[in-house]
Structures are given as structure tokens and as C-alpha cells.
Amino acid sequence: MRILFVGAGVISAIYGYALKQKGHDVVHYVRPSRMDKLKNGMKIHLLDGRNKNKVTSGQYALACVSELPNMDEFDLIVVSVRHYQLESVLSELAGKTGKADILFFNHIWSDFSLVTPYIPSDKFLWGFPSGGGGFRDADGTELDGVLMNRLHIAEINGEVTPRLLKLAELFNGIGLQTIHPGNVLHWQWKHFSLNAGISNGILKAGGDSRFLSSIPRIRQGIFFIREALEVTRSRGVDVRSFSDAKAFYLPSWIAAFAFWLVMKINKPQATIFKLHKGAEENKMIYQDLMKIAKRNGVSTPRLNAMQNMHS
């Protein structure tokens, strides 16, 4: 399959690398300055959840373009950006997608009406990666990455279509289990809330290591998560129907101990937390969550108290 990734950030690099290793034709659309920095490729150190969490290192020789190519030459376009950067990418892609389907591989906190003025609903699917990492250098040429052995992809109407199955086959072919949420927008909002709660727990604890090593600090994070989930519940989402969200409604000490234990066992997820460098993203997640909380009249006293830490 011929695949165009918009950008060469952490997620695009990890999945582009994994797909290219299996023989797919992968191209990255990047800014001219980024293209120059990547002319000698990218060194990737990958904690691979598909391979018993072994860490392997390799050189990724990226094929890059700095102008949008003819989209009819591609079978799939993958967009992975921060949720607040989405609209700028949509305006650039509008009317230029050709025959290719688009997989949006990131959070969305609004709804799909943000997308459809630019791209018809029958042209895109939505997903979320199970991976992460961070660059060792300012130029973004050496990456510590994590690739877990699963990901979420879905049609926005919840149907299991031939193109969804074709996309699942693509990712199954590189060793990834695909999960298809029945309501991907509700899944996204739930996941956004979990991220908001955990990131505020880490911020209040003074860093990921202090958070992940302390059951009392994790317990404080549980309260942030519950408030964030209540914001999502106010939008009509049955948050307790999601097993990962439901676990945070256990008695707080039990939930905190369970989270601490999972992070001891789940090395890929714990490593993602440690490698993530996203102060700006966490701030925007917090601000956008709180806008909905205020609009819907949701009480969030603990999250309210975090406002100065995001300034």
C-alpha cells in the first residue's frame, strides 16, 4: 500500500517506520525546514510491544516531500496532530485528497462537524494510536519510541465496512491488533478525559516519576480523572460503559493501587508517560476540558485549583 503521513512527528515516525519495515511505500509530507533536517534519516529506538517489549534500534530512511503530492497516487493518508492543530491541517487538505481515504489518528474534543466542511464524511475514518515517545534532540532526528500491540480505528458511524476491514488488515499485517469502537466519538471524548486527569495528576505530583511511584499521588490523580470523566458524562456519554474508565470509580485507594500495579507490569504504557513531552498540549487539553465543564455546569473543584499551574 502507498501511504502518505502528514508530518514526521513521534506517531507518524513510529507507524511509518513499522509500515515501511513490512514493505509498504511510505512518504512523509513535511515542512521544507524539517525535510532538510531529515535528509540523513531518523534514528529510532523502539520499545516494541509486538515483540515482548524488546528495545531495538534502527535507522529510518524517510521519503519526504515538502509540497502536497498528487493524492491520487496514494491509497491512504494518515494525519496525526494535536487536537488543537487539526483545523489548520483540514484547511490545507480540503479538496486535495483525491481517491485516498484519510485516517485521522489523534484526539478530537469537538465533534465531526469540525471536519465535514473540509472533507466529506465518507472520505475519512478515525482512530487513536497506542504508542508515543519523545525526541532526544531539538532537530527531531533521534527518537525514543514505544509501539504497543494494538490500536483503535473505526468508521465515524460505527459500521464495520470493507474499507475499515482493509485498514484493519493493513495494521494486522504489521503485528497490531485492531479494536473498533462502536461509537468512536464517545470513545475519543472518554480517552481525552482520561488523559486530562492523568496529565493533571502528573503535573501536581511534580513529574511522571513522582506520580507513578506513589500510590497517594496516584490517588490524587484518580480524583482529577473522575472530575474529567464527569465532564464527558455531561455530553451524553455513558463513561462507565468503558472498562478502563469504570475502573477509576472503584474506591480511590483500590483504584490507585491497581493503577500503580498496572504501570509496574505494563512497561510500554509507563514508558509513554515518561517520554511524553507535552506541556503545551496538556495545557490545551486542560483549557478545552474546562470550557465544556463551565458550559455544562459540571463541578470540578480539584481541576479548577490547577488553573495557575497551567498558566
Cα 175 from Cα 189, distance rounded (Å): 27
For position 278, what pLDDT does the model report? 86
For position 230, what pLDDT does the model report? 99
Nearest Cα to 12, choosing from 104, 85, 139, 98?
A: 104
Let me know how long the chain is.
311
The answer to whether the beta carbons of residues 29 and 65 sit under 8 Å apart is yes
What type of residue is 299? S
3-state SS class at 287: helix
The answer to whether the beta carbons of residues 274 and 213 sit under 8 Å apart is no
For position 311, what pLDDT does the model report? 81
3-state SS class at 282: helix
What type of residue is 232? T
The answer to whether the beta carbons of residues 124 and 148 sit under 8 Å apart is no
The answer to whether the beta carbons of residues 245 and 239 sit under 8 Å apart is yes
What type of residue is 250? L
The answer to whether the beta carbons of residues 16 and 8 sit under 8 Å apart is yes
Cα 303 from Cα 195, distance rounded (Å): 13
Residue 35 CB burial class (10 angstroms; 0-12, 13-18, ≥19): middle
For position 50, what pLDDT does the model report? 94
Instruction: Break the chain down into helix, strand, coil percent, rounded to 5.
Output: 50, 20, 30
Instruction: Kindly report the backbone phi and psi dihedral angles of residue 214, in degrees, each rounded to the nearest multiple of 5, phi listed first.
Output: -125, 115
127 DSSP β-pair partners = 105, 153
Q: Dihedral sign, CA of 293, 297, 302, 308?
A: positive
The answer to whether the beta carbons of residues 36 and 48 sit under 8 Å apart is no
Residues 150, 154, 160: CA angle, nearest 5 degrees: 110
Q: Tens of pLDDT along 119-150?
A: 999 999 999 999 999 999 999 999 999 999 99
Mean residue pLDDT across the chain: 97
List, in order of start, the domains of the chain with CATH numbers.
2-182 (3.40.50.720), 187-310 (no CATH)
For position 135, what pLDDT does the model report? 97
Cell numbers placing 135: 525526541
For position 128, what pLDDT does the model report? 97
3-state SS class at 19: helix
Q: Tens of pLDDT along 49-97?
A: 999 999 999 999 999 999 999 999 999 999 999 999 999 999 999 999 8
What type of residue is 98? G
For position 277, what pLDDT does the model report? 82
The answer to whether the beta carbons of residues 140 and 34 sit under 8 Å apart is yes
For position 253, what pLDDT does the model report? 98
Q: What is the pLDDT along the chain (311 residues), one digit of tens a residue?
A: 999 999 999 999 999 999 999 999 999 999 999 999 999 999 999 999 999 999 999 999 999 999 999 999 999 999 999 999 999 999 999 999 899 999 999 999 999 999 999 999 999 999 999 999 999 999 999 999 999 999 999 999 999 999 999 999 999 999 999 999 999 999 999 999 999 999 999 999 999 999 999 999 999 999 999 999 999 999 999 999 999 999 999 999 999 999 999 999 999 999 999 998 889 999 999 999 999 999 999 999 999 999 999 98
